[in-house]
Structures are given as structure tokens and as C-alpha cells.
Amino acid sequence: MSTIYENEHLRIEIEESEIPWLKIFTQTAYKEMSEVPSEIKFEIFDLLDIIEKEMLAYYKPTKINIASFGNYMPHVHWHIMARFEEDSYFPEPMWGTKQRECTLDLPDPEIFYQRLVTKQHT
């Protein structure tokens, strides 16, 4: 996994997948969201909002999925995924049962990542 953005509180990582999929991690390994200081919670929600809006504008997906589990990794993190009717799992979650084989023809992810990094500095 590669990190495309980080600051003292958070980092954004790329999940390797057929779909655009990013994860936001807290730098400190909080187990539950209720343990996260308020200012960092606000920062997480701002990032979720920015990523969702940029995914919608850039990829034009059918739906955005946002999830926070952490059962295998008890460290607060959020998944943000752009979903498409023709992706391999839709309408199931990406952790669900594969529905079909597919190869999506999507715009260059490097441009998308650069757009996100630019938004973080504005």
C-alpha cells in the first residue's frame, strides 16, 4: 500500500483494487472512534467529504461506499470506494461474493491522487 497524503494526525493510503479505493488511517492507533480527539474526528470527516466529492467528480461512479470496520486491524480507519454497476462485486460489498469478471476502463488514478493532494493544501 502506498501513502498519498499524511500529516501529524492522519494518512491516506491506496488499497490495490479494480476500483478506486482509499483508506484514511489515524496516525495514532486508536481502537475505537470514540477514543479519537474531536479535532481529529473533524479532520477525518473533512477528508471523507473531500474524497467522496472528488471521486464523484472524477470517476462518475454509480455509488460511493464508506465503511469503518477494524475487526482484523483494531486501528481506526475508513474505507472510501467508488463503485460501478459493472465492477466485479456490485451490488455486493467488496468483501462479498464476486458477481462477475470485469475490467473497468477508468481515468488515470495518478491524476485523481494529485487532485486530492492539491485539495488538502487549499
User: How many domains does the chain contain in total?
Assistant: 1
Report CA-CA distances (Å) from 85 to 30, 31, 95: 34, 33, 16
What does the pLDDT read at residue 69? Answer: 84
**Percent residues over pLDDT 70 in the chain:** 98
What does the pLDDT read at residue 1? Answer: 62
pLDDT at 120 over 90: no
What does the pLDDT read at residue 121? Answer: 65
Over the stretch 49-107, which tens digit does the pLDDT of each residue have? 999 999 999 999 999 999 998 777 789 999 999 999 999 999 999 999 999 999 999 99
What does the pLDDT read at residue 72? Answer: 77
Q: Which three cell numbers stand for residue 34?
A: 470514540
What does the pLDDT read at residue 102? Answer: 92
Cβ–Cβ < 8 Å for 55, 62: no
Domain of 99, CATH number, reads 3.30.428.10
Q: Which domain holds residue 96?
A: 2-120
